[in-house]
């Protein structure tokens, strides 16, 4: 069975084996104490894990940053175009598995953060664009932290003007419809 859930009005995401994936998501939400009603109230789109990934870049820590093939190809072209104009773009984070997203939320809960605090900055498992292999967190330096100050960088200015040519779009602007805090570093690839 295949279901379609909208990630964006301009882009659909196919979720293979939707019923078993939804069961997995439901079980994880229950285990983490995340009410499904909260997810539904925010209209969060279900995001399936990518089935095929390639290494898009080795980051400053020596970790492989993996993306879906089309997103990786577009990332490479976009990074090269930015470099040609003297702007450095670096992958801070790319694909993130469903299980890793569970760990992130679990660790934050264990650290004493409330669900409200966590879900303002982290997607519940099953709802992270990073699962798709088409989302990137971008820095202007190899070891950038993900902070709102990124919007003041040359990299952000360049992305704002040129990223759409490569199929990358800012996911979470100020006041976004999903209730996440503003993330100027988080961009999502759509086939253009």
Range with the poorest average pLDDT among 11-20, 136-145, 154-163, 173-182? 11-20
Whether the Cβ atoms of residue 96 and residue 128 lie closer than 8 Å to each other: yes
Q: Tens of pLDDT along 20-33?
A: 999 999 999 999 99
What pLDDT is stored for residue 16 in this prediction? 57
* Domain assignments of the chain as residue spans, ordered by start: 50-189
The pLDDT tens digits for 30-50 are 999 999 999 999 999 999 999
Dihedral sign (CA 171, 173, 176, 179):
positive
The mean predicted confidence, pLDDT, of the chain is 90
Residue 44 CA to residue 18 CA, distance in Å, equals 16
Which architecture does CATH list for 50-189?
A: 2-Layer Sandwich (3.30)
Taking 50 as the threshold, does the pLDDT of residue 7 lie above it? Answer: no
Rounded CA separation 170/182 (Å): 10
């Amino acid at each position: 069975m295949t279901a379609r859930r909208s990630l964006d009005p301009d882009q659909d995401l196919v979720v293979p084996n939707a019923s078993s994936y939804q069961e997995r998501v439901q079980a994880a939400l229950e285990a983490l104490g995340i009410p499904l009603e909260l997810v539904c109230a925010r209209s969060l789109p279900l995001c399936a894990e990518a089935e095929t990934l390639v290494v898009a870049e080795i980051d400053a820590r020596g970790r492989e940053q993996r993306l879906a093939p089309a997103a990786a190809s577009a990332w490479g072209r976009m990074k090269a175009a930015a470099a040609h104009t003297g702007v450095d773009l670096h992958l801070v984070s790319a694909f993130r598995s469903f299980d890793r997203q569970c760990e992130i939320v679990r660790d934050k809960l264990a650290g004493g953060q409330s669900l409200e605090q966590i879900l303002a900055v982290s997607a519940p498992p099953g709802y992270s664009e990073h699962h798709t292999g088409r989302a990137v967190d971008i820095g202007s330096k190899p070891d950038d932290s993900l902070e709102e100050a990124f919007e003041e960088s040359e990299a952000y200015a360049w992305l704002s003007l040129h990223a759409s040519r490569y199929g990358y779009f800012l996911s979470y602007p100020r006041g976004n419809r999903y209730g996440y805090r503003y993330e100027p570093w988080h961009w999502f690839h759509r086939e253009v």
